[in-house]
Amino acid sequence: MQRLDRIFESSARSLAQRTSRRSFIGVLGQILTGSLLIPLLPIDRIQRAEAATGPEGSPAAPGKVPAAAKGKSASKPYTEDQQSCEYWKYCAIDGFLCSCCGGSSHTCPPGTQMSVVSWIGTCHNPADGRDYIVSYNDCCGKASCGNCDCYRNERERPLYRLSRNNDVNWCMANTGSDYHCTVSVILGSAGP
């Protein structure tokens, strides 16, 4: 025990002879300053924030996330609500959701006609983990619905790539070319 005391005493005296209290305070200050700077390092926190609040600060949409959706895109909210812009089938849509306008996600509201030409996209269905070809037809013949405006346009290109730009009234080839809302019709599987 005495030996242990001697060891500690000698090491403490040695330390006291070599260093000052002022240097101790300096080192402590460096440690505190350094630890304060750690949060300023460039670390991606967007995914964690989106998982907690949704991509635009809205609360994460309710709904049970299927197993196939987990891990595939954990940062995206999952919803089965077809009146929500986040519904998987709307990944390339640009317009008012017909499900909020008296129709459904794939049928036009009464008094409108489905466009004969359409925008085509592919969307990933998290429920079964597969990709689907989706036709986005406008419903035509009545004034704009105005409900549930949804702009996602996945893989759209700027206007100078005209064949890949969706800033188009797809009612243009119909007799009544007034735009009312947009439906999303699954055409088939996009892969094997």
Instruction: Point out the residues that are catalytic.
Output: 119, 138
In the complex, the smallest distance separating the C-beta of residue 63 from other proteins, rounded to whole angstroms, is 24
Coil vs helix vs strand at 65: coil
162 touching other proteins, by CB under 8 A? yes
Interface map 62-101 toward other proteins (x if CB under 8 A): ------------------------------x---------
159 touching other proteins, by CB under 8 A? no
Half-sphere exposure of residue 60: CA atoms within 13 angstroms, side-chain side: 16
Using CB under 8 A, which of 60, 116, 127, 186 touches other proteins? 116
148 touching other proteins, by CB under 8 A? no
User: At 21, phi and psi to the nearest 5?
Assistant: -65, -30
Nearest to 125 by CA among 191, 181, 182, 61: 191
In the complex, the smallest distance separating the C-beta of residue 155 from other proteins, rounded to whole angstroms, is 5
Using CB under 8 A, which of 12, 31, 67, 120 touches other proteins? 120
Distance CA 173, CA 178 (A): 11
- Find the length of the chain: 192
In the complex, the smallest distance separating the C-beta of residue 188 from other proteins, rounded to whole angstroms, is 7
Q: Which residue carries 């197993």 as its tokens?
A: 67
- Integer angstrom CA distances of residue 131 from 91, 138, 182: 11, 22, 20
Interface contacts to other proteins, rule CB under 8 A: 92, 116-122, 131, 133, 135, 153-157, 161-164, 166, 168, 172-173, 187-188, 190-191
